[in-house]
Amino acid sequence: MPTEKCERQTHLVTALESRLGAWVVAARWPIIAVTLVLVGIAASGTAFLESSADHGIYFSKDNPQLLAYEAIENTYGKSSNVFFAIVPEDRDATSALALDATAWLTERSWRMPYASRVDSIVNFQHITADGDDILVRDLVDEAARGDAAERSRIRAVALAEPRLAARLIARDGAVSGVNVTVQLPGEADLIAGRRVAGFAREMRKQVRERFPGINVRTSGMVIFNQTFMEVAINDLKALVPASFAAMTLMLLLLTRGLGGTFAIMLVVALSVMTAVGTGGWVGLPMTAVAAIAPIVVLTVAIANCVHVYSSLVHGMRAGAVRARAAQGAGPGELKRDAIVESVRVNLQPVFLASLTTTLGFLSLNFSEVPPFRHLGTFVSFGVAAAFVLSVTFLPALLSLLPIRLRATAQRHDAAMAALAEFVVRRRRELLLWGGLAVMALVALIPRNELNDVFLHYFGESIEFRRDVDFTVDNLTGMYALEYALGSGETGGISDPAYLSEVAAFAEWYKAQPETIHVDVITDTFRQLNMSMHGDDPAEYRLPASGELAAQYLLLYELSLPFGHDLNNQIDLDKSATRMVAATKTLSSNEVLDLDRRALQWLADNAPNIVRPESSGTTLMFAYLGRRNIIAMLVGTTIALVGISFVLILALRSLRLGLTSLVPNLVPGALGFGIWGLAVGEVGVSLSVVTTMTLGIVVDDTVHFLSKYRRARRELGCSSPDAVRVAFRTVGRALLTTSLVLVAGFVMVSLSSFEMNAGMGKLTALVIALALLADFFLLPPLLMKVEGGTDKETTSA
């Protein structure tokens, strides 16, 4: 233990640190009043918070996949849609009841807001021969629905039609679909999307009521986007109050003080209000990712407050304050002196911890995913507010509240003293075995594979996820890879060589194991050619010449009713077509591999297809993870350099600053090593964890090093004794803040949005590992780097 001489030495007090605490106590009422007014002004910014239900917000404006997607949309129209899967109990999609339900839903879907096209087996434009002409009409009419023979014919035609099978009717005929294409207004996607989704869900309800025995599943891009927003709102409604309650309970159990818990949670609430309100003032949107910002601010803000409160309680029981108590100082004076001392010893470490945390979260602005940038900015606002409040409002409020000292705290101090003794005495073994454990877990990092399944961003508790899984298993794929296939000349899509290559590409795609359906214009040309030859099956092939192909296409387009044109497949000057491949639910790596193979096939086998481009939402999300991890490597590096510079400057020691990097970098590496062993996949959300947690885990290191450094300089302690002092003065606070942080991110992991849930799990793991590193790795490193033994204390 440190000697009496070491304990009695005078503190070196800076003017700012000592004056701030005294000023806060003296001006407590004005500080509290002004703080509440300023927070109220900041919080009013929540009225200006914007929300977004567009999946495009997850991509930067200059994202190449987004630009390619927008180019295809500008040419062929938007592909936003609502998809209804019609599920009869008897598993017969062409029964009279199922066809009636499909016909009713098809007709009503035209009334959906912003609907521009409705496709189903009922209104599918079936081509048949009519002498020397062709007849284009709905596959199903009202009379046919009541005739068993006609229904059998309809079933046979639908299952044999490549434009329908595995797209609008299952290959086994058990389930059918209605696809509604909508053109949402660009500036009002949120409101418009909500209207469309609400209309679709009301229609689903009506079908179930009108047609007993028919179930309806809803999916599509509009529902996908709306689910993003609904998950964000649900997280705000459920997780934020739950986290607040859990944190309050944990603080009560750990601090054993009602007054302190109330003050801390009030500061936390004010920090959250300031963060969200300021975000509203500067125009940040609220997305499913940014929705967890209040929880992150809540957990980070608690850390600052706990250190100030713990030092206050410690000061009321020991050290210089206890000496004054022996001279007759009253309880009020004791608390005042303890508050002044707490602010003095915590101002620098709390500022450094807040600064490094802010640097960590601001580095999220390097992310390729704008919602992560918004999250980082929201949290940075909250961290800045928490720092100011924790060194002004909190001590001012604590000076007014009763603080009871409990005997259990002394037992906790004894436990920390025992832990310090263990670490000091076993420092060589801890350094050796700790180093081996670190190397072993770091070696597991390559087991992680950068991979994602963007439809699985939603947990199975979300209705959209269940409906998508059912639709993929029973009807058609929700993943779509779009290819713009240019011919290089106006009217070139009628060229036989071009059509032959497009058809061959479609056949290649259909043969791939990942593919469920391919929508391609050459199937229409084949059907037209057959019908123009008297519906002879032997003529189901491409037209023999470009002139015939152009004539057939013109005749067909003139026969199509409103809402069934070919503008979604052919561009205006008929120089290019769009092919859409629907696939199974794939991981991002599988999507990228399939697209790579497709583009390679085109390069090797299709000289007449000019500048083919692939795009679609599926590809956009598949590329996102890779682009984001590269961007976050830059962000992490810059954050690391910035944090290192701050620590070296603050500690005024290059040696200590560099030593502190070890416990700051190790937790992230260990976390990914364990993740590689347990899970093995890293998605978009996990690619930001290292950057985000870097700022958080530094906090514990800063507080430990601050107390260690003060013990060395102000108390003249040896390195081992300084470690003991650090454990005794800040160990319990580190344990409390780490447990609170872990609990907070465990609450985040309960989100039904997998981006947030996965990030919460890994972040909680990294923070837990950071505590172990600061307790069992940092102290042995300090004693190794700075040298010193217990004998130095004795000789002193």
Tokens 């519906």 belong to which residue?
535
The b-or-e profile of 358-389 (16+ CB within 10 A means b, else e) is: bbbbbbbbbbbbbbbbbbbbbbbbbbbbbbbb
pLDDT digits (tens, 9 = 90+) for 723-769: 999 998 888 888 888 888 888 888 888 888 887 888 889 989 999 99
Map 525-559 to HEC letters: HHHHHHHCCCCCHHHCCCCCCHHHHHHHHHHHHHH
Q: Whose CA is closest to 287, among 181, 405, 367, 171? A: 367
Whole-angstrom Cα distance, residue 694 to residue 696?
Answer: 5
Q: Exposed, middle or buried: residue 309 (CB in 10 Å: 0-12, 13-18, 19+)?
A: buried
Name the residue with higher pLDDT: 698 or 323: 698
Name the residue with higher pLDDT: 694 or 623: 623
Whole-angstrom Cα distance, residue 637 to residue 688?
Answer: 12
Whole-angstrom Cα distance, residue 268 to residue 261?
Answer: 10
Q: Which amino acid, residue 790?
A: D
Lowest mean pLDDT among 227-231, 377-381, 429-433: 227-231
User: What pLDDT is attached to residue 9?
Assistant: 39
Assess whether pLDDT exceeds 60 at residue 320: no
Q: Model pTM? A: 0.82
User: What pLDDT is attached to residue 795?
Assistant: 33
Lowest mean pLDDT among 395-409, 488-502, 717-731: 395-409
The b-or-e profile of 561-586 (16+ CB within 10 A means b, else e) is: eeebeeebbbbeebbbbbbbbbbebb
Assess whether pLDDT exceeds 70 at residue 796: no
The answer to whether 186 and 192 are in contact (CB under 8 A) is: no
Assess whether pLDDT exceeds 90 at residue 546: yes
Q: How many Å separate Cα 60 from the centre of its chain? A: 15
Most confident of 12-16, 590-594, 664-668: 590-594
Structure-block tokens of residue 27: 């001006």
User: What pLDDT is attached to residue 47?
Assistant: 86
pLDDT digits (tens, 9 = 90+) for 409-448: 555 568 888 999 999 999 999 989 988 999 998 898 888 8
User: What pLDDT is attached to residue 328?
Assistant: 52
Whole-angstrom Cα distance, residue 34 to residue 29?
Answer: 9
Lowest mean pLDDT among 70-74, 176-180, 643-647: 643-647
Calculate Rg over the CA atoms of the chain: 33
Assess whether pLDDT exceeds 50 at residue 4: no
Whole-angstrom Cα distance, residue 264 to residue 795?
Answer: 43
User: What pLDDT is attached to residue 2?
Assistant: 45
Helix (H) or strand (E) holding 324: helix 319-325
What is the band of 270 on the pLDDT scale with cuts at 50, 70, 90? very high
The packing angle between helices 331-362 and 370-391, to 10°, is 160
Using alpha carbons only, what angle is made at residue 527 by residues 524 and 528, rounded to the nearest 5 degrees?
A: 85
Query: Bridge-partner residues for 51, per DSSP?
Result: 286
User: What pLDDT is attached to residue 58?
Assistant: 84
Assess whether pLDDT exceeds 90 at residue 469: yes
Name the residue with higher pLDDT: 135 or 684: 135
The answer to whether 348 and 650 are in contact (CB under 8 A) is: yes
Mean pLDDT of the chain, nearest integer: 86
What is the band of 337 on the pLDDT scale with cuts at 50, 70, 90? confident
How far lies 366's CA from each of 61, 354, 360, 574, in Å?
14, 20, 11, 41
Assess whether pLDDT exceeds 50 at residue 794: no
Whole-angstrom Cα distance, residue 76 to residue 114?
Answer: 17
Whole-angstrom Cα distance, residue 498 to residue 565?
Answer: 22
